[in-house]
């Protein structure tokens, strides 16, 4: 799906476990104009130093084991943090989780 620069797209973002507390909600909807990446999205959501520290360890580098899924696929297996978004994408952000 092609995105034109002036298109408005809506992206749904879900936060889980400890990230739900850090970002104050389990689910948010974000509106963007034009072409955006996962990095743009997460940057826009990190609206305080505290929130930024939750996810990032550098300008464009996520902390180890922060898991970001685009429509159920880890972004590592797409284009990483530069993965492009399109209207209707669902982004899920997880802290390290495990169990069995």
CB of 2 to other proteins, least distance (A): 23
Supply 76's token pair.
């590592």
Instruction: Give 88's Cβ-side CA count (13 Å radius).
Output: 3
Supply 49's token pair.
């130093």
Chain residues binding other proteins by CB under 8 A are 14, 16-18, 20, 26, 65, 67, 69, 71-74, 76-77, 92, 94-100
Nearer to other proteins, 7 or 30 (CB): 30
Helix segments in the chain, DSSP class H:
18-23, 38-45, 49-55
Nearer to other proteins, 5 or 98 (CB): 98
CB of 95 to other proteins, least distance (A): 7
């Amino acid at each position: 799906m092609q995105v034109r620069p002036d298109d408005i797209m809506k992206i749904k973002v879900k936060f889980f476990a400890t990230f739900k507390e850090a970002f104050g909600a389990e689910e948010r909807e974000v509106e963007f104009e034009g072409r955006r990446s996962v990095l743009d999205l997460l940057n826009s959501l990190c609206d305080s130093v505290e929130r930024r520290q939750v996810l990032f360890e550098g300008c464009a580098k996520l902390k180890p084991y922060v898991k970001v899924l685009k429509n159920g696929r880890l972004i590592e297996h797409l284009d990483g943090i530069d993965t492009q978004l399109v209207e209707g994408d669902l982004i899920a952000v997880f802290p390290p989780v495990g169990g069995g």
